[in-house]
Structure 1
Amino acid sequence: MIRLQNNYAITSSGGSFALVTFGKGKDKEGNEIDVQKPISYHTTLESALQSYSNNRMADLVSNFDMDLKDVKKEDYIGQVGSITHTQKMLTGNGSATNLFDIEFNDGAIFCVDREQIEFVED
């Protein structure tokens, strides 16, 4: 296990890596315990470290109002953008889903899941 800042760690098992965060949970008796919550799974350490970096950046910017109130995802429906990053994330039920960062010509970037995009050819 590689302990990182802000309650993150990278664990390794069988040649794969998981980015995890530490939090509080409850055992069967209802006692509060420390738990590891997996965030994402990776085939390389480099990918896991990049995921950590992305998550920390998201943590940092989520604490600031960047005055983007006039930028709405709905305004980009039907427009063509480019996928700039793909990440596999765990859902609440333990299965995984892909998230896509889509960048548009004006610089707007949105993170969407597979159901929110349609792939088109150039």
Structure 2
Amino acid sequence: MPSPADQLSTIFAALADPPRRAILERLSKGEAPVGELARPFDISAPAISKHLRVLADAGLIEREISARWRICHLRANALQDAHDWLAAYRRHWEGNLDRLVEFVERTHAADSAKGPRHATKAKGK
């Protein structure tokens, strides 16, 4: 089994491709046969199979064979590691933005306390 960092790389690589994200979006609404997943794309059956293999290798989908149907299911819990990794950066940026807001508010309050700028200069000209 890959290390957590390697698994993250695999997940993000799988998510980097728009057709794969579209497949995941469709599967978020429920399971679907491969033919239905392929329908919106103008690509070959082998290309769709490769996309599905990449998603399965990343742990994002599960494939099963039921009679003559190949059914795919979303494995949303596999996205938890990516979510956790992104959440750390979200907290970082939210903290930075909070400090920026405080700075702007302090600066604005200090400027307001000084009164209108250039008022005396404009009268003296």
TM-score (norm 2): 0.24
User: Higher relative contact order by CA 8 Å / sep ≥ 6: 1 or 2?
Assistant: 2
Name the one with the larger strand percent. Answer: 1
Q: Which one has the largest radius of gyration?
A: 2
TM-score (norm 1): 0.24
